[in-house]
Structure 1
Amino acid sequence: MVFQPHRTGVIWGWLRDLRQNWTPSVNGTMVLPFAAFQILLPFSTTVKYSLLFFALALFLIALIVLACKMHQYYKYKASSIVKNKKLINGTNIEKKTEGNILVKSLSPGFLETAREEQNSKIQLMQKEMEKLEEHLTPSPPSTESLDDVGSDTEPHRSRGKLKFALNYNKKATTLLLNVLEATDLPEHSRDPFVKIRVFTKVDGSQSKVQSVLHERETRVLKNNRHPIFDEDFSMSLKDCQLSNLSLKLEVKDFDKYSRHTLIGEARIALKDLKVSETLEFCEDLQGKTKDIIGEVLISLKCLPTSQKIEVGILKFKTSSLSIIQERDVYARIDVFSNQHKQKHQKSSLRAKSKVTVFNETFLFSLPNPGKTHCLILLSLYETVENGRKLIGQTSLGNQKTKAEDGHWDLMMQTLRQPVADWHPLYI
């Protein structure tokens, strides 16, 4: 900063004049006359009045803003008072629960409607769980298949008829199947097709385990309750005895975005098939039956402290003759607890073989294991070009319909210890 002597002289002169103008008061103090405050500003009169006008304008703007804010405040306060009055009158009263938590209690009419909707949802979920358990529970000699849980299983309801023809060529050891047509299908069936499986018994005629020898499908006929397929299939029966073979034809309703719905099935034992003679059949479609195609080794462990259950998929074995195909397989586990479906878990891919080893465990939440209604569904899939293909399924749990299964009871008797057992694999 540059020191300027002439400005310093002016300031000292002004202070000297100020000191000379002090006058004593009655009390002996010095009084400064009004003339001492008349400091001249180096501005013109026009500029001075402009600055004064600008200051007044800012003051008025500040008063207007203050008035607007006060108006908004009183308006908000009045509206809150009206709301509080409505709350007190019972339109929407806040009550304190037993846990000292404030919750909003709705009007009685709305509460009744909400409760009715909730009860209806609970009843619907219970019916679905009962239906699922009914389908998942094997009942000899034949039960409903697992891959068609949503199918109609009413015994007295007409499902329609299926016409087909069979011819066994003993010299070529081949079975010729001609799927002709389906008639009188239910009204809900739209896009029907026929799935064909040839089963053979394993380890003699007394064994319940079967092997899938052949699997075929017809084309899908859209919007047709009386589809005429007229398709021929040739299947080799080399090294197989007719007495151990059975043919199962499933009529299904095609669904592009979900599981195909079962309409009905027809099953024929090939032991009565005559050689070199074409036999034509017209069979009534029946409810779905399950076939055992292998076994799966599952381990269970209950962890009561953490309220979890450990489900392990150890290995599965099958006697299917079509196992030679080089494909990968994986397991999927679904757990239903108190009508609530938990998020499913999948195992890693394994090479497909007669005995496939997984040795993987998965944890699921299970509060109060002794009283919680639990159902475990294990599905085995193999990878194909278009996605996946179901190999088989099995189920276990503490539901009443599975009273013959002691695996769950054994787990509850040996807490915190894994318990393994074999379960049949159904298709």
Structure 2
Amino acid sequence: MVTLIDYPAPMELFSKAGELRMPFSDVVKYCILGISIILLLLALGILAWQIYRFCTEKYTTYTQQDAGHNDLLYSDEGPTTTGNYSGAPSTKLEDVSTEAHRLSRYLSQPSFPSLASTEAAGDKEEQATIQKMQSRLVVTVLQVEGLLEQSESRTLQLFVKILLMWAGSEAVEVEGFKDEEGEGLSPVLWTVLQEWRTRIVKGSCNPLFGDQFSCVLQEEKLHHINLRMEVRDFDKFSRNTVLGDVRVPLGQLNISYPLELQEDLKIPQKDLVGEVLLSLKFLPTSQRLEVGLLKVKTVLSEISPNAALYARISVQCNQFKLKYQKSSTVARCLVTVFNEVLLFSLPEVHLERCKILVSIYETRPTSKSAKQLIGQLSVGKEKSSEDEHWTLMMRSVRQPVAKWHGLLI
């Protein structure tokens, strides 16, 4: 017995499925689509309006804050280069009375919630600011002119190094250091308050700079501050050559108003910035030299808890430079005590020339630069002359000999 089952053809199923339609008419469907589009456009418009209001309020708030900060605060200016100068000053001093007037005008604005309490706080801050008597010094390096080309094979790459130096205290007598006239020893220990450098100008004996620097100073310190400007020739593979310097004592000038100075370059001189107590001992059998770094005396213009000192000592014998050594880092104070001995192995030949170079550096974690050179000193023996400390060391073989040396910069 055979049972036959009749299945509908696939084409018949598709034709029946095509007859299924939504119960809405075309007019209703188009209305729903139009309402959806209108709601979408309305939501996008509201979103764009809210974004515009947020950006406008944020820009207004930042503009008010920037205006307030510009009137209330001092901001240290870095080296900036100006293209064209029309009678630009080289030194400028701005008094705090002008800033106090700005402060009182800013505090009188109605934008503050409590005017009475703000004015009282402003009066106290104004009195404290006037008591400090701080002023801003602005130095602009305009031009160096009249230099001669050193050689035809190498062009000059000139820049100006500016040192703002403060006379801290009297120094003890240091042998081997003379003042600019060569008539004895300088009785003053200097310290570097600020150090700046201009940009490098290549291939010109009359370079134009226009770099500007500024810092805040106390008015009572101006009589003890010198401005030292060194013109240097940049050399990437060796030390920069100092072509000459200019020293300007700020206490002898009336710099309450813009003042333009033009000075002749003089032979570069070094200033005494500290003293170092060194100990030297020579061991002839093992041909070794012991350099003891005992104490470093410097002048502190301000107390910084993060400041520390370390020394870099190098030895050069018969024009052969040995590997340098670094001391440990010690917190800086008026007299920094190291009590550290560094050992150098000398070549086994007759020592015709020997030179010990000690460089003292300062490190501050909060400063922009990792280290700053405080000063240098050298002790040694030449063909024609011999340092007194070196002579005493050779006379007292195997015995340490300690002596103070001037730290120069």
TM-score (norm 2): 0.57
After TM superposition, the structure 1 = structure 2 runs for residues 259-298 of structure 1, keeping only pairs within 5 Å, are 259-298=239-278
Q: Name 1:309's counterpart in structure 2.
A: 289
Residues 385 and 232 (structure 1), Cα distance of their counterparts in 2 relative to 1, 3 Å cut = closer
SS in 2 for 1:234: strand
After TM superposition, the structure 1 = structure 2 runs for residues 28-427 of structure 1, keeping only pairs within 5 Å, are 165-169=90-94, 172-187=134-149, 188=154, 190-203=156-169, 207-238=187-218, 240-256=220-236, 258-321=238-301, 324=304, 326-366=306-346, 372-383=352-363, 388-399=371-382, 405-427=387-409
Matched residue type, 1:413: R
Matched residue type, 1:290: K
SS in 2 for 1:183: coil
SS in 1 for 2:393: helix
CA distance in 2, matches of 1:356, 1:204: 18
CA distance in 2, matches of 1:334, 1:302: 16
| Count of aligned positions | 264
CA distance in 2, matches of 1:334, 1:394: 11
Matched residue type, 2:166: T
Matched residue type, 1:318: T
SS in 2 for 1:407: helix
Are the counterparts in 2 of residues 168 and 275 from structure 1 also a CA contact under 8 Å?
yes
Matched residue type, 2:401: V
Q: Percent identity?
A: 44
After TM superposition, the structure 1 = structure 2 runs for residues 4-15 of structure 1, keeping only pairs within 5 Å, are none
Q: What are structure 1's unaligned runs of at least 5 residues? A: 1-162
Matched residue type, 1:321: S
Deviation at 1:349, TM superposition (A): 2.9
SS in 1 for 2:218: coil
Residues 386 and 322 (structure 1), Cα distance of their counterparts in 2 relative to 1, 3 Å cut = same
Are the counterparts in 2 of residues 169 and 276 from structure 1 also a CA contact under 8 Å?
yes
CA distance in 2, matches of 1:199, 1:302: 37
CA distance in 2, matches of 1:336, 1:217: 30
Deviation at 1:398, TM superposition (A): 3.0
Q: Name 1:118's counterpart in structure 2.
A: none
The C-alpha deviation readout for 1:342-388, integer Å capped at 9, x for no partner, is: 22222233334433332221222346899643211111223475554
| Alignment RMSD | 3.1
SS in 1 for 2:306: coil
Deviation at 1:215, TM superposition (A): 1.7
Mark the structure with the bigger radius of gyration. Answer: 1
Residues 185 and 323 (structure 1), Cα distance of their counterparts in 2 relative to 1, 3 Å cut = farther
TM-score (norm 1): 0.54
Matched residue type, 1:419: V
SS in 1 for 2:169: coil
Deviates more, 1:177-186 or 1:308-317: 177-186
The C-alpha deviation readout for 1:169-204, integer Å capped at 9, x for no partner, is: 465533332211122334355432221111121236
Q: What are structure 2's unaligned runs of at least 5 residues? A: 1-87, 97-133, 172-185
Residues 227 and 326 (structure 1), Cα distance of their counterparts in 2 relative to 1, 3 Å cut = farther
